[in-house]
Structure 1
């Protein structure tokens, strides 16, 4: 069971997220917070596996809360869920320690997949955000990319779709294979390439 803490200053947003999570057999909402200060307190007391964190909140904002939560509980996975996908919100959140970054207009399945992936240590990003991260990393690269050897044709197919920002479910649909098979390929890709997360895999694909 994945223990989830919901953090958003809008009660309606939290209620919708709770309904979505409560309908899943593997997710348990252990608490809700309306601001960053309350989020830090509840994270310390409830020990959630994943904190779904808004960024713009009164008082202590989400970015500050991320840093404080991870300072106390480094193993906590913080998944940002925000309306604002610009660089002024993205990079400070990642610097603070957020493991993933999704936009609030993401489909419910993408959000649920993101929570599950965050719980396993993966880094879920909305397609638009992932593309921007990869583009920025490619433009800043000073070394020539190293070719990746030893990949199967199917692994290369999966790698290309990761670079497009597709979720595991979307990749499975595109390639007509099971989601579990996609996860297996991604694990293999990370092992073969030494990439710690999907962003690095996408960067390798773009190389």
Structure 2
């Protein structure tokens, strides 16, 4: 049985804190060091490894089982987005957050279609990256401002039509997905167990013919189910 992504325990003022483990895939030393320092200085984030190439990233993801891979888009041996599926297959449960110098709605849509959880621009501030890692680790999506709506529009234009009619609870779940909530937040909002919330989300995806939560929201917007 494959191991699950890791978190590491820490103690802050006597209270236990679960740190989100991160594999950083970045080939430029100065950029990598700045990112590592920004992430490690927080109480809940920890960079447990750094990879210089996609090949190394696959091996490191298997070995470290990080909760989140922060993945540079352009690496010496290829396009990071094209490697998302392989990374997720190598380390099931690990989520991928792409970091890039240039971002467009088309690029954001590529990330979503590949199974990535977000895209953050290097031109943004480090706090945005920290928040993005937390959101992705919690099962949500994280896109720099202006990229999410554009990605949704592009995905909506390419997705299949609706399947079976959603139940009232599934429509409620869909609305919460549209608000950007992750599964844990949906569980709390609906007052149901986490596994029940996961089942609701999965059925929404199946009925909308979507491969991801982001794509499900795009389909729902196209069909007028969300405003």
May I ask how many residue pairs the two structures share in their alignment? Answer: 189
Residue 132 of structure 2 corresponds to which residue in structure 1? 114
SS in 2 for 1:127: coil
CA contact (8 A) 1:36 1:64 kept: no
TM-score norm. by structure 2 comes to 0.64
Q: Does residue 39 of structure 2 align to residue 21 of structure 1? A: yes
Q: 1:107 to 1:200 in 2, by over 3 A?
A: farther
* 5+ long unaligned stretches in structure 1: 168-180
**How is 1:125-140 mapped onto 2 (pairs within 5 angstroms)?**
125-139=143-157
Q: 1:126 to 1:115 in 2, by over 3 A?
A: same
**How is 1:1-207 mapped onto 2 (pairs within 5 angstroms)?**
1-86=19-104, 89-139=107-157, 194=204, 197=213, 200-201=216-217, 204=220, 207=224
CA contact (8 A) 1:124 1:198 kept: no
Q: Equivalents in 1 of 2:215, 2:160: separation in Å?
A: 18
Q: 1:70 to 1:203 in 2, by over 3 A?
A: same
Query: What are the superposed Cα offsets for residues 42-84 of structure 1, whole Å, 9 maximum, x if unpaired?
Result: 1111111100001111114313432322122121101111113
Structure 1 residues 39-48 or 66-75, which shifts more?
A: 66-75
Q: 1:76 to 1:10 in 2, by over 3 A?
A: same
* 5+ long unaligned stretches in structure 2: 1-18, 193-197, 206-211
* Deviation for aligned residue 1:6: 0.7
Q: Equivalents in 2 of 1:45, 1:63: separation in Å?
A: 21
Q: Equivalents in 1 of 2:33, 2:141: separation in Å?
A: 25
Q: Which has a greater percent of helix?
A: 1
